[in-house]
């Protein structure tokens, strides 16, 4: 008997518990993929399993629904594997230890993988049943969603006939997601020319910022340490002479940088008192501008040592680096007119980097951005703006990880139906929402022209952490909701 064996609906919780017993972290999905294949064979259902471990399972419509439009049920097989300190689980070989307390399911010491194991459990329960009315079904189980939507990107969509998709990969009951941002990682490359010089080495640092996720928290107005570093350098250049050795900041393109630093070479005779006063004034300005978001901002200059015959950037190169930092776009560019409060287009300078040996051939300063937009053309516009500036400065731009937006549909029969069904079941309207981050829906909407899609799911709290919880009653209500939607899709 399993921990969840007495919970209704029994098939859903039974499949979820089986899924949790199988190691299925991102990049380790062969076992869970084979489990889905065995399920299809046992239930005499057609299926496709590809080399990436994605699985598609097909089922005919029930009586009266044979000629209805096919419906896609979609979720991902992989989970984020995080554990508490002291937990000795081997995620590659061991299943999870489930716990049930106060109406919530958790895993002992680890993430639960409700994101997105519950979607797979829902779909398997529907595919296994003989008493649930539904149109023809195409259940898509993708892999490696959590590490870049790699499975969806690799999936051959040509066998799919459905243009109605229920994506069960949201974590807040009562919210219907209808759009998401597309994105790309764009890196601007600026060649570095150097010369020899002498003076006092010093480090200009911008620190104490809050940072955050560049999709979820880009609308919070938080400062970007790399951008402020460029501003500080430009302001100092107006009054003081210095030579630039390097600029560095940030660790990930999708994280707002909390710290950034420039290594400078100060010439003999620099007025330290006036320089200190200038930095103090910068501190006051920044702390005033960001007093609601980054009250602990600090700009500091630390003297290191005297040095001679040091490689520094030529004045022309340093000017180009500072110009790029000051003029490259960053932050929110456009807000949505369709969904109130939704960031439509943004970018984040997440990584600023100078190679260690700037004297060697081919070195550069690089600026890596996470570019996001729920309008594909605006994402391309932003990349073009970066290219335009870098080309004028003698640099270039490379892009990777390009994924499409899921653009908002003004006309969505599926959305209208799901709103109606929700109102009947819950006695209130659902919240229509969109997110400024990527979902697999964007890839499928790009591959399946005319796709009508909505993303939803039960309450899952603290996903991607060992505190993750799955609410039992929410799972039950969402199950009832899914079945009624399928019943109405005739």
Could you tell me the CATH number of the domain that includes residue 141?
3.40.630.10
Q: Is the pLDDT of residue 113 over 70?
A: yes
Q: Phi then psi for 395, rounded to 5 degrees? A: -110, -165
Mean pLDDT for the stretch of residues 331-342:
93
Residue 432 included in any domain: yes
Q: What is the pLDDT of residue 156?
A: 98
Q: Is the pLDDT of residue 358 over 70?
A: no
CA 81 to chain centre: 16
Q: Are residues 399 and 467 in the same domain?
A: no
Mean residue pLDDT of the chain comes to: 95
Q: Are residues 426 and 369 in the same domain?
A: no
Domain-ending residue, one of 382, 403, 424: 403
Q: Is the pLDDT of residue 361 over 80?
A: no
| Spatial CB neighbours of 335, under 8 Å, sequence gap ≥ 6 | 341, 342, 343, 344
Domain count, the chain: 2
Q: Is the pLDDT of residue 155 over 70?
A: yes
Mean pLDDT for the stretch of residues 283-304:
93
144 annotated active-site: no
Joined tokens for residue 296: 């602990």
Question: Would you tell me how many other CB atoms lie within 10 Å of the CB of residue 215?
Answer: 20
Is the peptide bond prior to 428 cis by the omega test (within 30 degrees of 0)? no
Residue 4 included in any domain: no
Q: Are residues 106 and 248 in the same domain?
A: no
DSSP conformational letter for 356:
S
Q: Are residues 176 and 196 in the same domain?
A: no
Q: Are residues 227 and 196 in the same domain?
A: yes
Domain-ending residue, one of 339, 372, 403: 403
User: pLDDT-based confidence at 71, cuts 50/70/90?
Assistant: very high
Mean pLDDT for the stretch of residues 439-465:
96
User: How many Å apart are CA 330 and CA 225, to the nearest integer?
Assistant: 12
Active-site residue, from 18, 78, 146, 311: 78
User: pLDDT-based confidence at 241, cuts 50/70/90?
Assistant: very high
Q: pTM score, two decimals?
A: 0.82
Instruction: Give the three-class secondary structure for 265.
Output: strand
CA-to-CA dists, residue 213 to 179, 242, 250, 252, 436, angstroms: 19, 34, 12, 10, 11
- Within 43-167, residue ranges assigned H as helices are 114-128, 150-154
Can you name the residues that pair with 165 across neighbouring β-strands? 72, 453
Q: Are residues 164 and 193 in the same domain?
A: no
Question: Would you tell me how many other CB atoms lie within 10 Å of the CB of residue 93?
Answer: 9
Going through 296-430 in order, the beta strands assigned E by DSSP cover 298-313, 331-335, 343-354, 364-373, 396-403
Q: What is the pLDDT of residue 416?
A: 98
Mean pLDDT for the stretch of residues 182-211:
94
Question: Which residue range forms the structural domain that includes residue 383?
Answer: 184-403
Residue 3 included in any domain: no
Residue 1 included in any domain: no
Q: Is the pLDDT of residue 360 over 90?
A: no
Q: Are residues 368 and 423 in the same domain?
A: no
Q: Is the pLDDT of residue 395 over 90?
A: yes
Question: Would you tell me how many other CB atoms lie within 10 Å of the CB of residue 474?
Answer: 21
Q: Are residues 386 and 240 in the same domain?
A: yes
Q: What is the pLDDT of residue 53?
A: 98
Domain-ending residue, one of 403, 422, 438: 403
Q: What is the pLDDT of residue 362?
A: 63
Q: Are residues 352 and 312 in the same domain?
A: yes
Q: What is the pLDDT of residue 306?
A: 82
Q: Which residue has the higher pLDDT, 306 or 113?
A: 113
Q: Are residues 150 and 220 in the same domain?
A: no
Residue 226 included in any domain: yes
Q: What CATH number does residue 206 fall under? A: 3.30.70.360
101 annotated active-site: no
What whole-number percentage of the chain has pLDDT above 70?
Answer: 98
Q: Are residues 255 and 350 in the same domain?
A: yes
Active-site residue, from 116, 138, 144, 145: 145
Q: Are residues 115 and 198 in the same domain?
A: no
CA 281 to chain centre: 37
């Amino acid at each position: 008997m399993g921990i969840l064996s007495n919970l209704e609906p029994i098939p859903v919780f039974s499949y979820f518990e089986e899924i949790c017993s199988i190691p299925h972290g991102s990049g380790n999905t062969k076992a869970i993929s084979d489990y889905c294949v065995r399920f299809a064979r046992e239930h005499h259902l057609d299926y496709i399993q590809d080399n990436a471990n994605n699985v598609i399972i097909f089922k005919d419509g029930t009586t009266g629904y044979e000629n209805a439009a096919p419906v896609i049920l979609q979720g991902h097989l992989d989970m984020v594997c995080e554990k508490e300190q002291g937990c000795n689980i081997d995620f590659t070989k061991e299943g999870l230890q489930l716990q049930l307390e106060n109406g919530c399911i958790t895993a002992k010491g680890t993430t639960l993988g409700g994101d997105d194991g519950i979607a797979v459990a829902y779909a398997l329960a529907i595919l296994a049943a003989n008493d649930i009315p539904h149109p023809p079904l195409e259940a898509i189980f993708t892999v490696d969603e959590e590490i870049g939507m790699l499975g969806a990107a690799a999936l051959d969509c040509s066998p799919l006939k459905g243009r109605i998709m229920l994506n069960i990969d949201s974590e807040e009951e009562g919210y219907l997601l209808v759009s998401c941002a597309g994105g790309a990682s764009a890196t601007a490359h600026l060649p570095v020319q150097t010369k020899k010089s002498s003076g006092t080495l010093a480090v200009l640092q911008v620190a104490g910022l809050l940072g955050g996720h560049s999709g979820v928290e880009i609308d919070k107005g938080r400062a970007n340490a790399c951008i402020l570093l460029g501003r500080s350098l430009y302001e100092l250049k107006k009054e003081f002479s210095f030579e630039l050795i390097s600029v560095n900041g940030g660790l990930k393109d999708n994280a707002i940088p909390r710290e950034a630093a420039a290594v400078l070479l100060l010439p003999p005779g620099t007025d330290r008192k006036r320089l200190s006063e200038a930095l103090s004034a910068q501190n006051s300005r920044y702390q005033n501008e960001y007093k609601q978001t980054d009250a602990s901002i600090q700009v500091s200059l630390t003297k290191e040592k005297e040095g001679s015959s040091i490689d520094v950037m030529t004045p022309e190169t340093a000017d180009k680096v500072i110009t790029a930092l000051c003029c490259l776009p960053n932050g929110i560019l456009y807000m949505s007119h369709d969904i109130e409060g939704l960031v439509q287009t943004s970018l984040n300078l997440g990584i600023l980097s100078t190679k260690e040996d700037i004297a060697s051939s081919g070195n550069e300063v690089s600026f890596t951005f996470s570019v996001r937009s729920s309008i594909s053309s605006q994402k391309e516009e932003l990349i073009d703006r970066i290219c335009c500036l870098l080309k004028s400065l003698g640099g270039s731009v490379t892009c990777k990880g390009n994924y499409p937006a899921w653009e908002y549909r003004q006309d969505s029969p599926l959305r209208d139906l799901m709103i109606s069904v929700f109102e009947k079941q819950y006695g209130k309207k659902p919240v229509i929402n969109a997110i400024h981050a990527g979902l697999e829906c964007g890839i499928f909407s790009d591959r399946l022209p005319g796709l009508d899609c909505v993303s939803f799911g039960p309450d899952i709290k603290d996903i991607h952490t060992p505190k993750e919880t799955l609410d039992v009653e929410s799972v039950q209500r969402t199950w009832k909701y899914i079945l009624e939607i399928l019943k109405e899709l005739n």
